[in-house]
Chains A and B, each alone.
Chain A
Amino acid sequence: MNSLALPTRRDEAWRYSDLDAVKSVWPIAPATQIAVAPGETAYHHLLQDAADTDVAIHDYVITVADGASCHFHILNSGGRLGRVTLDVTLGDGAHFELGGAIIGGGSQTLEIVTTVTHAKPNATSVQTIRSILGQTATGSYLGKIAVARDAQKTDAAQSVKAMLLDRTATANAKPELEIYADDVKCAHGATVGELDKAALFYMASRGMEPAVAQTLLLRSFIAGVFDTVADESVRETLETAALARLEKLA
């Protein structure tokens, strides 16, 4: 991914990106390496709230060894381009879990790109992505799940939901399954929607100010993404930052 040549639209993983923004910071730093040792459990998170004019690109290469488990939580909400990529390889019986929220407005391009490779049997993976996009922002989730030939009993799930606050915002959701084993479970679902108008009227009829009602509905939409953060102070940090960003969108 971090070759020296500038990526183009033809590169699948860059398809919806802001290539002008990428060009301004090219070449980008090498990926952060994370290795979770056999049987261990690791928790990582990324709060990406760069300044509006920044270009923030974060790449991770993660290996989760046999019987190990890795939990990753992302709030991707800053920068003119905010891009987070995870390239995960799972060992026998390993587990990987991603909770990601994308919250953007203005003309931001925000994306999360994951490749989860089930290289060995019995591994499990879950990706939950919730995007909230206003104005002319673009939010993308590209999630590839690759199951190797002998990676039987793989259990992979992907849930992607996006909420558009304006008709001018864009959400891309691209699940990609590449399965070479025959005894596997790969579930994926993607939806793009708008705020429930019936709920907004119901809330208004009780006197709730429209901005408060919108923030409440959006909070409930992304609720759950950070539920599995083990460290309470980290969870609070992510939730507080998400809420602050939501309030700016309302």
Chain B
Amino acid sequence: MNPMLKITNLTNAIDGKAILKGLTLSINAGEIHAIMGPNGAGKSTLAYTLGGRPGYEVTGGAATFDGQDLFELDPHERAAAGLFLGFQYPVEIPGVSNLQFLRESLNSQRKARGEAALSGGEFIKIAKEKAGLLGLDMDMLKRPVNVGFSGGEKKRNEMVQMGILDPKLAILDETDSGLDIDALKTVGAGINAIMRKPDKAVLLITHYQRLLDYVQPDFVHVLAGGRIVKSGGPELALELEREGYAEVLAA
């Protein structure tokens, strides 16, 4: 079986400064991976580089998504191919409602895949269902994208978007930060309901073990200094939480 996402010896630079220094990672369909690591290790940089954020220049290595060269695709083409990026800091877009934003996004994706656009009614039905799943009030989806949302609401909204867009691979960048315990449970259950399927995969980027109590990873990796320096099963996350990065990396 070919991996869904295959990253080989990836290096990149931001403003000429090297951040990722030879990162290799493979994710198969049906798997949930967690990447943990200290501040400044390059975790968010990895997410943005895979998503194609301008300014995150790839300087070496390769990444394929379903066998396709990921870096050949523009950001919106990566999304249409089935990649979803959950933002650590979701962006506010005044004047554009969540529903409009998501309907245009979904229909752009469908067009790129040669599928017919969804009607207003069909779209609202999906949006209602996914908002319900994440406990987000439908009224919030009528409001401008993330404007006036609390930190927790923004993260729930990211998951509602993920549910509606139904990606193959979700890269979730610190989706757990800013969430209280109840919201963490809801978001964790949402990730499981939407993404824990044999044909889907998740890459969770997180500082803490907390989210991993609700979304059990199959593999845990430690990112430090722009490389994966250690990989293991779920027990590695517990060990990190107990002993700290410095201790585990020194061992």
- Taking Cβ atoms with an 8 Å cutoff, the residues of A that contact B are 196-199, 201-210, 212-213, 216-217, 219-221, 223
Instruction: Report chain A residues within 8 Å CB of B84.
Output: 205
Size class of the B contact interface (CB-based, 8 Å): 20 to 34
CB-CB under 8 A for A197 and B101, given A220-B93, A221-B95: no
Q: Is B42 an interface residue (CB 8 A)?
A: no
Q: Is B112 an interface residue (CB 8 A)?
A: yes
CB-CB under 8 A for A203 and B101, given A208-B76, A209-B108, A217-B96: yes
Q: Judge whether A205 and B85 touch: CB under 8 Å.
A: yes
- Taking Cβ atoms with an 8 Å cutoff, the residues of B that contact A are 51-54, 74-76, 78-80, 84-85, 87, 90-96, 100-102, 104-106, 108-109, 111-112, 144-145, 161, 165
Known: A201-B75, A204-B79, A205-B75. 5 other contacts (CB 8 A): A199-B93, A206-B161, A209-B111, A210-B74, A219-B96
Q: Judge whether B74 and A204 touch: CB under 8 Å.
A: yes
Q: Judge whether A207 and B165 touch: CB under 8 Å.
A: yes
A219 to chain B, nearest CB (A): 8
CB-CB under 8 A for A204 and B91, given A209-B108, A216-B96: no
B65 to chain A, nearest CB (A): 14
CB-CB under 8 A for A216 and B100, given A198-B91, A205-B75: yes
Instruction: Report chain B residues within 8 Å CB of A202.
Output: 87, 90-91, 93, 145
| Chain A at the B interface: SS class | helix
| Complex Cα–Cα for A205 and B172 (A) | 12
Instruction: Report chain A residues within 8 Å CB of B105.
Output: 203, 206-208
Instruction: Report chain A residues within 8 Å CB of B112.
Output: 207, 209
| Complex Cα–Cα for A198 and B51 (A) | 13
Instruction: Report chain A residues within 8 Å CB of B104.
Output: 208, 212-213, 216
| Complex Cα–Cα for A155 and B165 (A) | 49
Q: Judge whether A201 and B54 touch: CB under 8 Å.
A: yes
Instruction: Report chain A residues within 8 Å CB of B78.
Output: 205
A79 to chain B, nearest CB (A): 28
Q: Judge whether A201 and B53 touch: CB under 8 Å.
A: yes
- CB < 8 Å: which of A197, A203, A207 contacts B54? A197
CB-CB under 8 A for A205 and B108, given A217-B93, A220-B93: no
A181 to chain B, nearest CB (A): 36
Instruction: Report chain B residues within 8 Å CB of A220.
Output: 93-96, 144
